[in-house]
Amino acid sequence: MINWKEFRQYPSAIAGLIIIASFLAVAIYTMIAIPYSTALELWRGGESVVEGNPRNARPVWVNWFTQDDLPATTVLDSRVEGVAQFEFNDISDDIDEKIITMDFDFQADQFFPELTFFIEADFIEKQPFVEISWITPDGEEIRAGEVTPGSREIYRPTQDERVMRRLDTNTAEVGFFLSPGTLDQPVPQKGTYQVKIAGLLFEEESDFDVKLVMYGAVHGIAGTDHLRRDISVALLWGTPIAMAFGLVAAIAITIANMSIAAVSVWYGGWVDSVIQRVTDVNLILPGLPILILIGTLYSRSIWIILSAVIALGIFGGGIKTYRSIFLQTRELPYIEAAQAYGASSGRIIFRYLIPRIIPLVIPTLVTAVPAFVFTEASLALLGLGDPVLPTWGKVIENARSQGALFNGYYYWMLEPAVLMMLVGVGFSLVGFALDRIFNPKLREI
């Protein structure tokens, strides 16, 4: 039905088609690569899932555009092979010493925003005693803390008064990395750092391991939000949801409008006028407020909202347009011929009338998709987003309620917004080209 050769004459349409195809590909990839349950776990799993993520970190690609390199999240885990060197000393009969040394290279131009030691200790009664030293590239050694860890201890040097008294800076994150002599305008020192964690073990079976997480100012391809969640999860999972929502709503409403218009024209008389009046009323109904009502009183599930959107659209404005086209189509000789050979009304409506206007309808359908994607986001912005699923709209809502624009976390708002804009551009370009191909009359004006 679509003349590919003609379609190729519109480079913008090809671009649009590529955009739509990429979104569909991402949608399918996401559903296979990150199954629903995994996505929910990643998005709603709470502290344990996201403890390795920084808070409000920019995406990694920000570094391509900025002069200063922002540090990315660095994790040093002594349990991971090859990360740490171990040294064991016998101090006395029941006291052993375990020294963990970990090196890392630091080349960023800004400080880490957050630095945390996760210490896991095995013991029966007597907890080990752990001493942390921080050795800077120029060889200075900072005593970074003394901890008596429980089985799972979270130690933040910034919150340790004893450590802070030794430093001149406000936070340990700055103090540990400060270039000498730059206290007024702190600049980090580049080079290889060493963390030495020496622990005294008071029991035979006692042991401990350390994970040092230096939270980056940049993290992942999409950055993180205020709850340390990786935004890329929501962006990826938002894609199939947005596509499904937009396409299902657009297709269902178009088919319904088309069928109702055909029935209205074919039967005419009171059927026609009833349908006309219902459409008139439906056009003036405040659509979004009714959706808000449904979202508040019943369910925020995206599928319920989708059904409501479709229900509100069944008697939508499309009926008026299609009706005027059907009114002309009805008079064509082939309809008369169909009637003459005894085709039933149903057959004429669905086999003769509707197929005739499908070329007119497809461009409208394609162009309508983005509007529904935005409808979902609109509801999400009011706090009526799906309670479980991560969607683009909910990311925007989170960003807005956390003052992302005010606080300068532009990426948080821009990423979902740009995705939505791409959806809009893609479908518009294709719809526009299809319109010109199917309805050559438009080319004149």
Partner 1 sequence: MAQHTAPATGGSSLADVEKASSKARNETIVRMGKFILRRLLAGIATVTVGVYLTVLIANMGGALDDIRRATIQEGVANFIALQALEDPEIRAMSQEQRNEMIAEQIALQEKRFGLDQPFAIRSFRALGAAMTLNLGFADQMVSDSGSKMVRNIILERLPATLVLFGTAYLLLFFLTLFGGLALSRRYGSWLDKGIIALAPTSAAPSWFYALFLILIFAGILNWLPFGGMVSAPPPPTPWGYAKSLGFHMILPVTAIVINAVFSGIYGQRTFFLAFASEDYVDMAKAKGLSNKAIERRYILRPTLPPIITSFAFVLLSLWGGAIILENVMNWPGLGRTYGQAIGQFDTAVIVSLVVVDAYLLTFTLFILDILYAVVDPRVRVGEGSNGR
Residue 382 binds to partner 1 (criterion: CB under 8 A): yes
Residue among 285, 332, 337, 358 that touches partner 1 (CB under 8 A):
285
Tokens of 312: 């509100």
CA distance 238 to 423: 12
In the complex, the smallest distance separating the C-beta of residue 294 from partner 1, rounded to whole angstroms, is: 6
Picking from 420, 370, 411, the residue whose alpha carbon sits closest to that of residue 393 is 420
Per-residue contact string for residues 239-268; x = within reach of partner 1 by CB under 8 A: ------------------------------
In the complex, the smallest distance separating the C-beta of residue 339 from partner 1, rounded to whole angstroms, is: 29
In the complex, the smallest distance separating the C-beta of residue 86 from partner 1, rounded to whole angstroms, is: 49
Instruction: Reduce the DSSP state of residue 54 to 3 states and report it.
Output: coil
In the complex, the smallest distance separating the C-beta of residue 155 from partner 1, rounded to whole angstroms, is: 36
Q: Give the gyration radius of the chain's Cα atoms.
A: 32
Q: Which stretch binds partner 1 (CB under 8 A): 25-33, 177-185, 255-263, 289-297?
A: 289-297
Identity of the residue numbered 372:
F
Residue 440 binds to partner 1 (criterion: CB under 8 A): no
Tracing tokens 């938002």 back to the chain, one arrives at 238
Looking only at residues 318 through 377 of this chain, which bind partner 1 when binding is defined by CB under 8 A? 367, 370-371, 374-375, 377
Give the β-pairing of 152-155 and 84-90. Answer: unpaired
- Count residues contacting partner 1 (CB under 8 A)? 48
CA distance 119 to 280: 68
Residue 294 binds to partner 1 (criterion: CB under 8 A): yes
In the complex, the smallest distance separating the C-beta of residue 291 from partner 1, rounded to whole angstroms, is: 8
Cross-strand partners of 142: 134
Q: Which stretch binds partner 1 (CB under 8 A): 1-9, 19-27, 52-60, 285-293?
A: 285-293
Identity of the residue numbered 287:
G
In the complex, the smallest distance separating the C-beta of residue 312 from partner 1, rounded to whole angstroms, is: 10
Are 372 and 249 in contact by the 8 Å Cβ rule? The answer is: yes
Tracing tokens 């109904």 back to the chain, one arrives at 285
Residue 317 binds to partner 1 (criterion: CB under 8 A): yes
Residue among 284, 331, 333, 443 that touches partner 1 (CB under 8 A):
284
**Exposed, middle or buried: residue 390 (CB in 10 Å: 0-12, 13-18, 19+)?**
buried
Residue among 396, 433, 434, 437 that touches partner 1 (CB under 8 A):
396
Looking only at residues 43 through 72 of this chain, which bind partner 1 when binding is defined by CB under 8 A? none
In the complex, the smallest distance separating the C-beta of residue 397 from partner 1, rounded to whole angstroms, is: 9
CA distance 27 to 214: 33
Which conformational region is residue 106 in: left (phi greater than 0), alpha (psi within -120 to 50 degrees), or beta? Answer: beta
**145-163 burial by CB neighbour count: b if 16+ within 10 A, else e?**
bebebeeebebebbebeeb
Looking only at residues 176 through 215 of this chain, which bind partner 1 when binding is defined by CB under 8 A? none
Q: Which stretch binds partner 1 (CB under 8 A): 33-41, 164-172, 251-259, 379-387?
A: 379-387
In the complex, the smallest distance separating the C-beta of residue 381 from partner 1, rounded to whole angstroms, is: 5
Residue 52 neighbours by CB under 8 Å, 6+ apart: 73, 75, 213
Tokens of 386: 């799906």
Residue among 34, 242, 384, 434 that touches partner 1 (CB under 8 A):
384
Q: Which stretch binds partner 1 (CB under 8 A): 43-51, 67-75, 158-166, 403-411?
A: 403-411
CB neighbours of residue 405 within 10 Å: 13
Picking from 193, 185, 211, the residue whose alpha carbon sits closest to that of residue 107 is 193
Identity of the residue numbered 202:
F
Return the number of the residue (329 or 375) whose C-beta is nearest partner 1: 375
Residue among 35, 45, 383, 387 that touches partner 1 (CB under 8 A):
383
Residue 283 binds to partner 1 (criterion: CB under 8 A): yes
Looking only at residues 406 through 425 of this chain, which bind partner 1 when binding is defined by CB under 8 A? 406, 408, 410, 413-414, 417, 420-421, 424-425
Which conformational region is residue 91 in: left (phi greater than 0), alpha (psi within -120 to 50 degrees), or beta? Answer: alpha
In the complex, the smallest distance separating the C-beta of residue 433 from partner 1, rounded to whole angstroms, is: 12
CA distance 116 to 4: 58
CA distance 420 to 425: 9
List contacts with partner 1 (CB under 8 A): 280-281, 283-290, 292-298, 317, 367, 370-371, 374-375, 377-378, 381-384, 396, 400, 405-406, 408, 410, 413-414, 417, 420-421, 424-425, 427-429, 431-432, 445
